[in-house]
Amino acid sequence: MIAITNFAQQLIRNQFPTVQGLRHTLLLQNDIENKNKRIALNQDGVQIIFDRDDYWIVASNMCGYSKDVVSIYDSVYYDINCKTKEIVIRVFGKNGSIKMAHFQKQDSSQDCGLFVIAVVTAIVNNIDVSTCLLSNCLPNGIFVLVF
């Protein structure tokens, strides 16, 4: 799923070249572990983050709140753990408010990659993620993002 997630980020970055973030997740993870390296975005942006060692989340400060608020889109958990908070502060370079965004949770344990790609797609298109629905109503497990 890492290759698919990074490929999707690259496609989105190519379509929206002015959006900050969308860094390769493995490179970002290496930079996060190197405490001396500065990785903060220079402006508002969106980033997919590999979290809690087993799934994906999205962090963004492009979501209609004050630019000092970073919203976390987590399709599994309802809270932010300490490690996630540290990662978000390193990526966004702010000690401002971090809040959990309210949006659809996944039904299975293997959909987080699809959820983060859908969330990033909605954010860069200025669509309120809380009004979206990710549905697997099509045959063969194909997912659809409904705005």
Query: Tens-of-pLDDT digits for all 147 residues of the chain?
Result: 667 888 888 899 899 998 888 887 777 776 667 666 655 666 788 999 888 877 889 999 887 666 678 999 998 889 988 888 888 888 887 666 889 988 888 776 667 778 888 889 989 988 888 877 766 554 445 455 555
Q: For position 65, what pLDDT does the model report?
A: 62
pLDDT score of 14? 92
Is this model's pTM higher than 0.85 or not? no
CATH of the domain at 91: 3.40.395.10
DSSP assignment of 32-97, as one string? HHSTTS----SSSEEEEEEETTTEEEEEES-SSS-TTPEEEE-SS-SS--HHHHHHHHHHH---S-
Residue 109 has a pLDDT of 65
pLDDT of residue 138: 47
Residue 38 has a pLDDT of: 57
Query: How many domains does the chain divide into?
Result: 1
Domain range for 75? 2-146
- So what's the pLDDT on residue 59? 92
Q: What is the pLDDT of residue 9?
A: 86
- Rounded Cα–Cα distance for residues 50 and 110 (Å): 14
133: β partners: 146
Contacts of 102 (CB under 8 A, 6+ apart): 130
